[in-house]
Amino acid sequence: MKDITLKEIATKLGISITTVSKALKNYPDVSAKTKQAVIDLAQNLHYTPNSFAVNLRTKESKTIGLIIPEVVHHFFSNVINAIIDEAEKNGYLVIILQSNESLALEKKQVELLIKKRVDGIIISLSNESNNDDHLKEIITRNIPFVMFDKINKLISCSKVIIDDQKAAFNAIQHLIDNNCKKIVHIRGPLNPQNSIDRYIGYKKALEKNNIPFDTKLVYTCETVTFQEGVDFAKQIIKDHPDVDGIFAVTDLVAVGVLSYFNDNNIKVPGQVAVIGFSNWFMSQVLTPKLSTIDQPSHEMGIESFNLLLEEMNCHKEGIPFKPRTIELETNIIIRESSIKNNPIN
């Protein structure tokens, strides 16, 4: 099946390429019957504009790039879902790339997208990301750019975030309200802003309740995996047999903790209350059901794309765009794993 071009249609109709082009784009300066003839023939021949040529002419690809740490992740896959759909509604396609939590890969992916000349880039940083060069490059090249969730405060671009400090504070306050006296925090890696903020929220809540902060009660994830949760659970019980509350940086790790405790007959919440972060789907089907913080992943995706879209539109029109930061609300979801005064325990 040969590709149909404007030229073919023009030749077949005995008119110029220009007129065909104008007719198809519904320009006002084409006579009604010419327009109709062109449209009819184009339809007959299943004409499709050659997007490569259109890209070259218009200098836009109607494609955006999305870089996330990994697809197989409840939170990120939800964001992806939202971004893809929202982009499509607005005529954009999405190229997805993973950094696998590696800075080197993240840099490579940024480079690939720049070379690809996507119209805009949305990114959630990897845990290793402590170097700005590749991000600055995006700014320098004047490519519309949005960061979400795992952001870099120092880069001037639009951002979509939550108040991690406040959310973590609420989680800890909830544990304290449920009679937890010795609360361990399994924190995220040292670099990411959100794991820093959750850690600060933990400290602030202790302080507010006059509970002395103890660095020995803080464990730091490297891989942020289920297995790490299992391993930390074991270690924590060994180090602090009297621990009565655990706040994990994310549900996946909390699930590891729960799994170890279940397998070793340590009662949750009876002996130790547990709360996670992010509200992964599985949290609601575990035994006991895991308390957590709900993060509006879908909304985050939608807002991220729309911020990018706004910037892409300004970019096209040559209008200056002022980056904005959108902060979305979180909700604490109290289930079974954190309620000490629950009669069933």
Binding site for a copy of itself (CB under 8 A): 1, 48-53, 55-56, 59, 61, 63, 70-74, 77-78, 80-81, 84-85, 88, 93-98, 112, 114-117, 140-142, 226, 255, 258-259, 262, 281-282, 285-287
The C-alpha atoms of residue 10 and residue 13 are separated, in whole angstroms, by 5
Dihedral (CA of 6, 12, 18, 22) sign: negative
Is residue 30 part of the contact set for DNA (CB under 7 A)? yes
By beta-carbon proximity to a copy of itself, the closer residue of 217 and 257 is 257
By beta-carbon proximity to a copy of itself, the closer residue of 201 and 335 is 335
The C-alpha atoms of residue 47 and residue 211 are separated, in whole angstroms, by 71
* Segment interacting with DNA (CB under 7 A) among 53-61, 145-153, 157-165, 232-240: 53-61
By beta-carbon proximity to DNA, the closer residue of 1 and 344 is 1
**Helices 164-177, 193-208: inter-axial angle, 10-degree rounding:** 40
The C-alpha atoms of residue 316 and residue 60 are separated, in whole angstroms, by 9
Q: Please state the closest distance from residue 37 (CB atom) to DNA, in A.
A: 9
Is residue 282 part of the contact set for DNA (CB under 7 A)? no
Rg (C-alpha) for the chain, rounded Å, is 26
By a kind-dependent CB cut-off of 5 to 8 A, residue 19 interacts, out of DNA, a copy of itself, none, with DNA
By a kind-dependent CB cut-off of 5 to 8 A, residue 22 interacts, out of DNA, a copy of itself, none, with DNA
Cβ 320 vs Cβ 314: under 8 Å: yes
Q: What is the dihedral of CA 275, 279, 283, 288, to 10 degrees?
A: 30
Distances (CA, A) of 32 to 20, 27, 28, 29, 81: 12, 11, 9, 9, 42
The C-alpha atoms of residue 116 and residue 52 are separated, in whole angstroms, by 12
Cβ 240 vs Cβ 184: under 8 Å: yes
Select from 11, 44, 53, 329 the one that contacts DNA (CB under 7 A). Answer: 53
* Distance between start and end Cα atoms, the chain: 70
By a kind-dependent CB cut-off of 5 to 8 A, residue 141 interacts, out of DNA, a copy of itself, none, with a copy of itself
Is residue 45 part of the contact set for DNA (CB under 7 A)? no
List the structure tokens of 295. 């993060």
Mask of contacts with DNA, 2-21, x by CB under 7 A?
-x-xxx------xxxxxx-x
By beta-carbon proximity to a copy of itself, the closer residue of 116 and 181 is 116
Residue 320, Cβ density class (10 Å: 0-12 exposed, 13-18 middle, ≥19 buried): exposed
How many chain residues interact with DNA (CB under 7 A)? 29
- Which helix (H) or strand (E) is 113 found in, with range? helix 103-116
Return the number of other C-beta atoms located less than 10 Å from residue 319's C-beta. 9
Q: Which residues pair with 97 in a beta bridge?
A: 67
By a kind-dependent CB cut-off of 5 to 8 A, residue 190 interacts, out of DNA, a copy of itself, none, with none
By beta-carbon proximity to a copy of itself, the closer residue of 98 and 129 is 98
For residue 107, the one-letter residue type is: K
Is residue 116 part of the contact set for DNA (CB under 7 A)? no
By beta-carbon proximity to a copy of itself, the closer residue of 170 and 283 is 283
By a kind-dependent CB cut-off of 5 to 8 A, residue 18 interacts, out of DNA, a copy of itself, none, with DNA
By beta-carbon proximity to a copy of itself, the closer residue of 141 and 181 is 141
Is residue 58 part of the contact set for DNA (CB under 7 A)? yes
Q: Which residues bind DNA (CB under 7 A)?
A: 3, 5-7, 14-19, 21-22, 24-25, 28-31, 34-35, 47, 49-50, 52-54, 56-58
